Structure 1
């Protein structure tokens, strides 16, 4: 498993394009309270800004990085959304994660090489944090070290949650778990928990959950008929969050496909 060395500490997680970069101001970023700099003093924030660059916008379908490329940075998502993809032994693409504004991606390196491809679900912008610079700065700023380790622990937790999600026996509980998890993640980042856009397609959701796209569409319709959701194209309004939570552990007759 890859290890990020932060001074005398070690944090372990499982799991380029030559361009001109642009400097930016973290203190003026609308997501600064959700990102690594949130606990930094003004002086330390100025030092942190020196290592951060903003990548040019990634168009829908564009790759932030690809499997097999060197892993040299973490990326903070400013806007848009991304998905992580691995290729199975039989050549099929499997989605293993979705990433939202305020979250970090890039923890998937194995021996300094990415083991998945990260693709933009819509036009997205990210900030690049070079690992070598981040490691060096974390040795000097203890609060930054704590933030990095917190984010890495959250990454491990999300991977464990995915394993638990895929272990659920019914298609209904898988989809309910996915929507509840997405709601919580958006809420924790200051967005609405009950009114949001699904930037990922139903095909992508089905791929992630190990279901057929038709099954996902059928279950969304079922949740609408039960008054749990309202769906208009990609806009989702959760009408009854308690009922949706109740579906997470249900053992209904809905079967995965």
Structure 2
């Protein structure tokens, strides 16, 4: 008999994994230790459930959802959820905290390609070739929910809203990439920083937080990498915004005082 902390399934034959109805709850194979049972809860009790991929699952089919979302996983600040080249096996919903995605180049340099907040999904990059193309690194102590992709695919066959939401997420990735290219190619350095702050503001507001006062979990160097500029350029832009009275900066705490002025850049 296997230990109580981990249950496994034994497929009847080699090939496609067993149907979702045959799956039992298992711990993410990459997790360093079993989760504290006191922290476990149903998706319906998650404060970010409304923003998550799983929100597309109708209430009547939540039992299937519970089987799909295998476990929480803790990721400490600076730790990696997955690395470029790792075999793709799951999508991850950010339950709390935040992440950055980083692409490394053959010459040894690296580039930040995105910042993911609670309620957003990580791992979509792995669908194309069954391997991840970037590193996902926690900007702070964070937790994610693991959703094995073969389970997501099985559920999508039965639950059309879930399939539609997955397609939406993939389309949003394309739109985000296109927007980043436009941001880097068509805007001045100050306009890039202003656009970045306004984007964070709208994402915070969508999550029920203050749109005018929030903490930057990423460093200015990471912001510069994402926006295609040097650390000093980011700092100069923020200093100018503060002199103009458009923002106030206290360490990593930012307060937007004149969003209209930032939008006009």
For the aligned pair, the TM-score class normalised by the smaller chain equals: 0.7 to 0.9
Instruction: Return the offset for 1:187.
Output: 2.1
1:174-199 deviation digits (Å, cap 9, x = unpaired)? 11111122222222233222111100
Question: Structure 1 residues 50 and 237 mapped into 2: Cα distance closer, same or farther (>3 Å)?
Answer: same
Instruction: Tell me the SS of whatever aligns to 2:145.
Output: strand
Q: Return the match for 2:122 from 91, 100, 105.
A: 105
Structure 1 stretches lacking a partner, 5+ long: 1-15, 248-257
Superposed CA offset, 1:4-32 (max 9, x none):
xxxxxxxxxxxx62655656410100011
User: In the superposition, relative to structure 1, how do residues 165 and 225 fare at CA in structure 2: closer, same or farther (>3 Å)?
Assistant: same
* Secondary structure class of the residue paired with 2:229: coil
Length-normalised TM-score, structure 1? 0.85
- How far apart are 1:231 and its partner, in Å? 1.1
Q: What is the deviation of 1:89? A: 2.6
CA distance in structure 1 between the aligned counterparts of 2:72 and 2:87, rounded to whole angstroms: 17
**Match of residue 64, structure 1, among 61, 77, 81:** 81
Pick which of 186-195 and 214-223 moved more.
186-195
How many residue pairs match? The answer is 232
1:86 and 2:103 are equivalent in the alignment: yes
TM-score (norm 2): 0.83
CA contact (8 A) 1:176 1:244 kept: yes
Q: In structure 1, what is the Cα distance between the partners aligned to 2:71 and 2:41? A: 7
Aligned to 2:240: 222
Structure 1 residue aligned with 2:217: 199
Distance 2:139 2:167 in 1: 27
The separation in 2 between residues aligned to 1:216 and 1:186, in whole angstroms, is: 21
Is this contact kept in 1: 2:191–2:262, CA < 8 A? no
Structure 1 18/198 Cα, relative in aligned 2: closer, same or farther at 3 Å?
closer
Q: Deviations over 1:123-168 (max 9, x none)?
A: 1100011110000011011121122122222222111111111113
Q: Which residue of structure 2 lines up, in the alignment, with residue 41 of structure 1?
A: 58
1:175 counterpart residue number: 193
User: How well do the aligned residues superpose, as a CA RMSD in angstroms?
Assistant: 1.6
Match of 1:120 in 2: 138
Larger Rg: 2
- Point out which structure has higher relative CO (alpha carbons under 8 A, 6+ apart): 1
User: Secondary structure in 1 aligned to 2:50?
Assistant: coil
